[in-house]
Amino acid sequence: GAVVSQHPSWVICKSGTSVKIECRSLDFQATTMFWYRQFPKQSLMLMATSNEGSKATYEQGVEKDKFLINHASLTLSTLTVTSAHPEDSSFYICSARDGLTVNYGYTFGSGTRLTVV
């Protein structure tokens, strides 16, 4: 079945540094990528939606200059947390949608645990 590989699975960084999270679709074309943030024991909060080759659409309240999303190819999307601070510590999950097949399914990455110290 469809697989999305998300890396790293966990990362610890110092305050003020930037962290890049990658999501790759391994056997399908990710026409749309969704980036979520999940706080402990809470649901997923959609941060942004990106279509391949286009600028990402950010949800209200999400700083686009802080959370940079690149979706330059049909198999790779990245989320860069710039100038990270402790309040950015969270679990980040990507989800890819294959809009080119009949299934139109969503495939989730395994998540990235970010800890900013």
Q: Do residues 81 and 69 make contact, with C-beta atoms less than 8 angstroms apart? A: no
Q: Is 76 exposed, middle or buried (0-12, 13-18, 19+ CB in 10 A)?
A: middle
Q: With contacts defined by CB under 8 A, name the span among 14-22, 38-46, 69-77, 79-87 that binds another protein.
A: 38-46
Length of the chain as a residue count: 117
d(CA 36, CA 94): 6
Among 14, 40, 43, 117, binds another protein (CB under 8 A): 43
Which positions from 69 to 108 touch another protein by CB under 8 A, shown as an x/- string? ------------------------x-x-x-x----xxx-x
Kindly identify the residues of this chain, within the stretch 3-32, that bind another protein according to CB under 8 A.
Answer: 4, 6, 32
